Structure 1
Amino acid sequence: METNLKILLVEDETPKITQIELFLRGLCIPMDIRYAKSVNSALDLLDEEIPDLMLLDMSLPTIDVDICAGESGGRPQGFGGIEVLRYMILSEISCPTIVVTGYEAFPREGGDLDISQLGLELEIEFPRIVQKILHYNSTYETWKNELRAAFEKFKSEKGNS
């Protein structure tokens, strides 16, 4: 009997969560999706259970944001996703990860880092974790095609292990 694929979606923007979940459900693969909306909640969920696959945003708040309660979510982090990846290395957590970011460039000292440069850096620092980095833009279908291809690659590699 096939078990459901366990996916952790780490994303703080509700519209993006909705679009990614609709896309994943459209793949018609049995899956259980858990959600984290901040760095800290992602780390907590990873400590509870290691998913089969993680979809990770790069820009995340430190803690979950409750807008209705007027919370700020702590210090916004342009590279919050990297904190999650580094925690995985330190904790020896092995989980294939697809980075899904809404940004094409990331500000940092010495000049902006574009998404292709970020992808190269992530491949070097996290070669056994990061499977793909893709740009999410709700206006275009490109992210869906890239995510579908990355998902298919993940499934074929999982089937071979």
Structure 2
Amino acid sequence: MSILLVEDEAPKRKNIRSLLEQMDLLGLVSEACSVGSAIRSLRSSSFDLILLDMSLPTFDIVAGESGGRAQGFGGVEVLRYMDRFKLPTAVIVVTAYPAFSQGDKEIDLTELGKNLEAQHPKIFRGIVFYNSMFSTWRDELKTKIEEVIIR
């Protein structure tokens, strides 16, 4: 099973990698840190699973570069790309935000999950709220990964 981990925050990425290592999946992981690098990875390789952050910079953040415009729904851009090119890869969203602003409206994770399910029914496999202060995210993510592996 090949996995693409799309995450721009190093501590969160490290914690997710730690979970994947415990699940004996770490050797199968590629990484991307922005919308742009995620799409480049999807163009050049195929994956069985994508662990996708929702809030991503447009481009990778490197010395002297800001990463372009921050996108609160950058993960949605990756999902749209996947739909456009009919990429069948399962996607689990892992976000540290309990809600997102959309115009003057706030969308909680339950509503976001329903929206993503409706818009991307063939690939979206769920959303996990990441909070480094608690371990519940680990159990939730592990369960969702195992569900994808079993399918």
Structure 2-normalised TM-score?
Answer: 0.97
- Tell me which residue corresponds to 2:147: 153
Distance (Å, rounded) in 2 between the aligned partners of 1:145 and 1:71: 35
Aligned residue type for 2:28: D
Larger Rg over CA atoms: 1
2:12 is aligned, of 7, 11, 16, to 16
Q: Any conservation in 2 of the 1:97–1:132 contact (CA below 8 Å)?
A: yes
Q: Does 1:46 align with 2:42?
A: yes
- C-alpha RMSD of matched pairs (Å): 1.0
Consecutive unaligned residues in structure 1, runs of 5 or more: none
1:84 is aligned, of 55, 78, 86, to 78
Cα distance change, pair 84–118 in 1 and its aligned pair in 2 (3 A): same
Q: Any conservation in 2 of the 1:106–1:114 contact (CA below 8 Å)?
A: yes
Q: Any conservation in 1 of the 2:17–2:26 contact (CA below 8 Å)?
A: no
Q: Any conservation in 2 of the 1:7–1:31 contact (CA below 8 Å)?
A: no
Distance (Å, rounded) in 2 between the aligned partners of 1:92 and 1:114: 28
Distance (Å, rounded) in 1 between the aligned partners of 2:39 and 2:86: 13
Quote how far apart the aligned CAs of 1:123 are.
Answer: 0.3
Consecutive unaligned residues in structure 2, runs of 5 or more: none
1:143 is aligned, of 134, 137, 140, to 137
Cα distance change, pair 9–93 in 1 and its aligned pair in 2 (3 A): same
Identity of aligned residues (%): 46
Aligned residue type for 2:120: F
1:57 is aligned, of 42, 53, 57, to 53
